[in-house]
Structure 1
């Protein structure tokens, strides 16, 4: 019956008109579109986008590409040792950040601590995340000198801000029933965290920690460029001395290492988490 009525309305042209978008909504969409165009144009000029330069410098790019296609592994033992140093920087930077991020992540979750505590801790963690690892590396290089220790400290501070935020979001998404049950039996706040919160968030926390370790291996490579130790220092030296074949070999070592770590991390997640 309802289907026949609908067919009849279509046949007789009595279908209700489509809803009319309010004028204010249409104007808002136009303003948003115009602002988007303005921002893109402004960013284009601020970034000095110049596609024609790619054509003008095609010869230099071809020479660079040809050298990169002939990787030189003459100093492979040096690359290997430097990559181990980079891994050590990432391991300790991540480990220290996770250790610090556990209590800070809990104190950033407003469902388990008072709101004013969570607000204050979050702002401190925002500051840690807002400053890039490279900036922290430059600061710690001035404080403790060149080398891997400065890289560890830089990764530690920045990664603490990242994992604390991820950990707090996991805590805020828990099922409150176990926590309320422990509280109802007279449990302390610490018991609520240990027995009500941690069992729910621990698998996710481990996954986040593994992901940040993978990311920190890449970041540790870049930190070496500014003097934070590891294979990045050698890569910077080879690029500045125009030894592109050796730079290509270093990049291959980094790519293989990161790929192996990614596969290992994926296997750990699937089997144990």
Structure 2
């Protein structure tokens, strides 16, 4: 019996690998992608980057403006994440299998979360551009909607995983719905909820760069402006600042996670 199981598992793995190779070759054929040329161009691209894409003395004079745009991007990302987390928690409680009230309310909560989660923030940006134009508010709402969908789903799974046993115990004692939420669900789930919020902050800071290119705001706008004007030295400085900020925030986030989890 075990030998049949492992043989079947190896066969499934082999079939999956063959299917993946077939799909890859099909995609290469359809798109007419030259694999050899793609790999051989890597050294030339690296040589160009080393020769042109680095900050010089003139680019360093733009550091204050880059820092101000970075701060704006960070603040928008954090604000969009924290506000969306509040709404996500409400929808997660209503849609959770453990704490949901059932019926159409739970179904609507899950449907709204699924809709918002499956639309990328870049798509949200383009949709919102028609309503708000190129400004900070467009980027904020794009990050807010994307964060709301992701966090609602993550919060639902966290509540169902962490709080099911304690909720059942409180229900057996006749506790009210709000007592269960505030005395069991939120206290037991809050470390994982905070971890998801920190993860979303990191993700939004990365995505805010792309959002800035689309909405003409923040650090993304500066990178797009410098790159299109062929000011590669300033554009490279923007990239370095973004990478440094993300690494610092990720380090701080990991430290917080180790404390709360």
What is the TM-score with the length of structure 2 in the denominator? 0.86
| 1:10 corresponding residue in structure 2 | none
* Displacement after TM superposition at 1:45 (Å): 3.3
How far apart, in 2, do the equivalents of 1:108 and 1:233 lie? 38
Residues 1:32 and 1:84: Cα distance change in structure 2 (over 3 Å):
closer
* 1:195 equivalent in alignment to 2:179: no
> Counterparts of 1:160-239 in structure 2 under 5 Å?
160-227=148-215, 229-239=217-227
Match of 2:34 among 50, 62, 65: 50
Contact (CA 8 Å) 1:64, 1:244: kept in 2 or not? no
> Counterparts of 1:106-145 in structure 2 under 5 Å?
106-113=93-100, 114=102, 117-145=105-133
| 2:142 corresponding residue in structure 1 | 154
Contact (CA 8 Å) 1:235, 1:250: kept in 2 or not? yes
How far apart, in 2, do the equivalents of 1:79 and 1:180 lie? 53
Contact (CA 8 Å) 1:98, 1:209: kept in 2 or not? yes
Moved more, 117-126 or 101-110: 117-126
SS of alignment partner, residue 180 of structure 2: helix
Residues 1:56 and 1:251: Cα distance change in structure 2 (over 3 Å):
closer
Moved more, 42-51 or 120-129: 42-51
- Report runs of 4+ in structure 1 exceeding 4 Å deviation: 18-21, 23-34, 56-61
* 1:74 equivalent in alignment to 2:61: yes
* Displacement after TM superposition at 1:251 (Å): 0.7
Unaligned runs of 5+ in 1: 1-17
Greater percentage in helix? 2
* Displacement after TM superposition at 1:34 (Å): 4.2
Unaligned runs of 5+ in 2: none
How far apart, in 2, do the equivalents of 1:244 and 1:181 lie? 62
How far apart, in 2, do the equivalents of 1:52 and 1:266 lie? 40
* 1:260 equivalent in alignment to 2:248: yes
* 1:64 equivalent in alignment to 2:52: no
Moved more, 130-139 or 61-70: 61-70
How far apart, in 2, do the equivalents of 1:31 and 1:272 lie? 43
* 1:35 equivalent in alignment to 2:23: no
* Displacement after TM superposition at 1:28 (Å): 6.7
How far apart, in 2, do the equivalents of 1:262 and 1:170 lie? 22
What is the TM-score with the length of structure 1 in the denominator? 0.83
* Displacement after TM superposition at 1:48 (Å): 4.6
| 1:101 corresponding residue in structure 2 | 88
